[in-house]
Amino acid sequence: MPRIIVDDVHKDFKLRHTHSIKETFVAALKRKPLTTDFHALSGVGFEIGEGESVALLGFNGSGKSTMLKLISGVLTPDEGKVLTRGRVAGLIEVGAGFHPDLSGRENIYLNAAILGMTKKETDERFDEIVEFSEISQFIDTEVKHYSSGMFLRLAFSVAIHTEVDILLIDEILSVGDEPFQKKCLARIRELHSQGKTLVVVSHDLDMVSSLCERGILLRGGAIAFDGPSKEAVALMRA
């Protein structure tokens, strides 16, 4: 049974052409379009089965992050369907879901609740989450004073200690330093070996081809290739 079904998905964004009220007024008088539609995704479809690890590949602007946001539910498609089965945790934007005025400790509870954990479950895993993040010294500091790497550590720790079926990871691993990246990768591999489904967006082609068996290559918002990740990476490099 598939965990993720993406069926003929289209997503457009409006691109603005005016900068000021005056420009908008002049453009409206001249009946010039104020915006044009930009097709970020046009007719994308695939299925991801339970326990698969899939890399979304493509050059800048090809639609990878948009696709990931559609799977996570942050965005909705203009046309087509995105269906997921099970609990989805997305590491999509560093610190998204964090409240700047709350401490690291409070944000752990807040984020865990957003990811569907009860207070009791979070209590039980709290120490493990803090230990993995290696920022225990700052756990009672407001997160607005955190560096982007510290944000990442906390967000990542919470996400990988929750009960998830599908883990979505966008590029953000690049924010952490090398030892932390290694630790995260090891943990992601462990989750995958436990049968979790992974969807990864990264420009680190060597990393994704070793982590993911399958690669979906996006080009201009459409699928250019879907198959073994090593072949997808070879196409990217061609």
Ligand X SMILES: Nc1ncnc2c1ncn2[C@@H]1O[C@H](COP(=O)(O)OP(=O)(O)OP(=O)(O)O)[C@@H](O)[C@H]1O
- Say how many C-beta atoms besides its own lie within 10 A of residue 102's C-beta: 15
Residues 92 and 168: beta-carbon distance below 8 Å: yes
Cα→Cα distances 48→51, 70, 85, 126, 163, Å: 9, 14, 11, 31, 19
Residues 174 and 180: beta-carbon distance below 8 Å: no
Q: In angstroms, give the least distance from the CB of 218 to ligand X.
A: 6
Residue 62 binding ligand X, by CB under 6 A: yes
- Pick the piece of the chain touching ligand X (CB under 6 A) from 46-54, 62-70, 128-136, 205-213: 62-70
Q: What is the dihedral of CA 166, 159, 73, 225, to 10 degrees?
A: -50
For the chain, give the longest Cα–Cα distance. 64
- Of the pair 164, 217, the CB lying nearest ligand X is at 217
Q: 33, 49, 61, 100: which one contacts ligand X (CB under 6 A)?
A: 61
Residue 215 binding ligand X, by CB under 6 A: no
Cα→Cα distances 112→8, 78, 85, 98, 157, Å: 32, 30, 19, 11, 10
Residue 66 binding ligand X, by CB under 6 A: yes
Q: 40, 173, 175, 223: which one contacts ligand X (CB under 6 A)?
A: 40
Interacting residues with ligand X between 128 and 167 (CB under 6 A)? none
Residue 13 binding ligand X, by CB under 6 A: yes
Phi and psi torsions of 168, nearest 5° = -110, 130
Q: 48, 53, 63, 130: which one contacts ligand X (CB under 6 A)?
A: 63
Q: Which residue has the tokens 């943990």?
A: 187
Residue 197 binding ligand X, by CB under 6 A: no
Report how far residue 216's alpha carbon sits from residue 27's, in angstroms, rounded to the nearest whole number. Answer: 41
Q: In angstroms, give the least distance from the CB of 91 to ligand X.
A: 14
Q: 53, 65, 111, 202: which one contacts ligand X (CB under 6 A)?
A: 65
Residue 72 binding ligand X, by CB under 6 A: no
Q: In angstroms, give the least distance from the CB of 67 to ligand X.
A: 7
- Pick the piece of the chain touching ligand X (CB under 6 A) from 56-64, 85-93, 98-106, 226-234: 56-64
- Say how many C-beta atoms besides its own lie within 10 A of residue 20's C-beta: 8
- Pick the piece of the chain touching ligand X (CB under 6 A) from 26-34, 55-63, 86-94, 115-123: 55-63
Residues at the interface with ligand X (CB under 6 A): 13, 38, 40, 58, 60-66
